[in-house]
Chain A
Amino acid sequence: MNILFFIRCFNGIVLREALRFIHQRERFFSALVRPLVWLGIFAAGFRSVLGVAIIPPYETYITYEVYIAPGLIAMIQLFNGMQSSLSMVYDREMGSMKTMLVSPVPRWFLILSKLLAGVLVSILQVYAFLLIASFWNIVPPISGYVTLLPALLFSGLMLGALGMFLSSAIKQLENFAGVMNFVIFPMFFASSALYPLWKIEETSEWLYYVCLYNPFTYAVEILRFSLYSEFNIEYSLGVIIFSIIFLTLAILGYDPSRGSIQKKGG
C-alpha cells in the first residue's frame, strides 16, 4: 500500500462529500441563512444593549456585528460538523457507511479523511458568509482572509471530530436530534461567541469558568485573532489539544475492537 493509494482514497472521500454538498443545495443556503439571521436581526437588536470595550485583537471600538462575526463563523463550522456526523449516523442506518468501513484502508485514515472532507466544505461556506457579511461592514484586513484559513482548518477539525465522536456513540438518527440540542446550543451560548468573557465574569463566576473551558470558545477565539492576522498561542494550543482528544475518541469509537458499534449489534 503506497502513498498513491492513500491519496486516491482521500480524493474519493472528498469528492463524494463535495458531490453530496452540490446535490443538496438547500444545505448550503441554510448554512448561510442561519448566521445571517443572527447578524441581521440578533446583532442589530443587541448592538445598543451591549457595549464592547477594546479587547485584543481589536485596536479600537468595534460594532457588535464585528464582534460576533468570528462566533458566527465557528457556528457555521459547528453546524457543518454536526451535519456531517448526522450524515454518518444516517449512512450507518442506511448501510452506506459499511462500504467505507470494509475497504482495505486503516480506520483512522478513513475517519480523518471524512473529517477533512467535511472541513473543506465548511470552509467554502465560511468564505461565502464573509462575502455577504462585508455588506454589514464586517471587513477584516485583506491578510485576515488568508490567515483565517489555517485557523478554519483546525477549528473545523476540532468541531468535526466532536461531531464524529458523538455519531460513533449514537445508534439511531432520532437520538442525534436530542444531542444536537444538548450540544450545539449550550456550546454556542456558553462561549465567547456572543459576549466577551469579561462581561460574563461580571455576571456570573461559574458561568465564566464554563465559558472559559468550553472548547467552542477556543475555536471562536483563534478565528477572531486569525481574522486580524494575529496568533494567540493559548487558544491555538487549546484547539489542538481538544482536536486530539475528540479525534482519538472518534477513532476509538469507530474501531471494531474497541468501539461502541459492535456492542450495539447494528
Chain B
Amino acid sequence: MLALDVNDLSHYFGDFCALDKVKISIKPGDFTVLLGLNGAGKTTLYSLITRLYNNRTGLINIYGHNVRDNSIEALKHIGVVFQQPTLDLDLSIEENLQYHSALHGISKKEAKIRITNELERIGMLDKTKMKVRSLSGGQRRRVEIARSLIHKPKLLLLDEPTVGLDIGSRQLILDHVKNLCKKEKLAVLWATHLIDEIDKGEKVIIINKGKVLISGDVDKIINKARVKTIRDAFNKLVKI
C-alpha cells in the first residue's frame, strides 16, 4: 500500500492556479525530496495533504485513507513539520509536547515515556523543562521533528525544515530524518529548495509553478535531462 498517493490534484486561489494536476506517490520507507523554488506550490500541496485546505479536485490518499472523506483516519498517520515554526514559545519543551500528545489522544503517562524517548533521540533530554523561547533555531526545529513523531506516524511531511539554519544544524536534522526513514520504514516527503540536501539514490520530485516536471531517482533525472548533476538538471528543467 502506498504511504502517500496524490493523483490529478489541482488547486486555485481565485484565478491563480497554485497546483496543476499534480501526481505523486510515495512508498513506506521512501525518502522523497520535493524540490522547487519558493512559490512553486510546495506549501499549498502540504496544506492540502494535511487538510488545512480542502481539495476540490483530484485525490489524496494516505495509507489508503482518503483525506477528504476520511480525514481523521488519514491524519492519524501523518507527522508534520511546517515551514513556519509552530511551537508555543512561552511553554516549555515538555508542555509543548504534552499538548501535541493530548491532541492525538495519548495519555499523560504514555506521553511522558514517548517524550523522553524522542528527546533522548535528538540529544535534548536535559532541556525538557526549558522554555522554547530560550532555544536556538536548530534546537527548535529538532523539537518540532521530535513532536511530529510522538504519535508514531507512518508518513512524515517536512516543509523546508532547514531554512534559516546553520550548516551544522541542517546536517544534524537531515541525518536524523534519513536515519528514521531507514530504521523505521517511515515514509518522508521533504520539501526544499536547497539542492545540496539531496543524496545519490534518493527519489526526487521537481515542482515548478504548480506542476510536477519530473519525478524519479536522482540518476534517472540526471540521465533524462542529459546533464551531469542534479543541480544542472534542476536548472535546466525550471529554466533558471
Contacts and interface: CB of A to CB of B under 8 A. Distances in A.
A binds B: yes
A99 B105 CA distance: 14
A11 B90 contact: no
A256 B102 contact: no
Interface in B1-29: 13, 18
A173 interface: no
Contacts of A172: none
A263 to B, nearest CB: 8
A37 interface: no
A104 B52 contact: no
SS class, residues of chain A in contact with chain B: helix
A12 B53 CA distance: 24
Given A11-B102, A95-B86, A102 B54 contact: no
A99 B103 contact: yes
A20 B72 CA distance: 27
B105 to A, nearest CB: 4
A1 interface: yes
Given A95-B84, A265-B13, A105 B103 contact: yes
27 contacts: A1-B105, A8-B102, A9-B102, A9-B104, A11-B102, A12-B99, A13-B99, A13-B102, A15-B98, A16-B91, A20-B88, A23-B90, A94-B86, A95-B85, A96-B86, A98-B50, A99-B86, A99-B99, A103-B75, A103-B103, A104-B73, A104-B75, A105-B105, A106-B72, A257-B54, A261-B53, A262-B52
Interface of A: 1, 4-6, 8-9, 11-13, 15-16, 19-20, 23-24, 94-96, 98-106, 256-257, 261-263, 265
Interface of B: 13, 18, 44, 47, 50-54, 71-73, 75-76, 78, 80, 82-88, 90-91, 95, 98-108
Given A4-B107, A95-B82, A99-B86, 7 more contacts: A8-B102, A15-B98, A95-B86, A99-B99, A104-B104, A262-B52, A265-B13
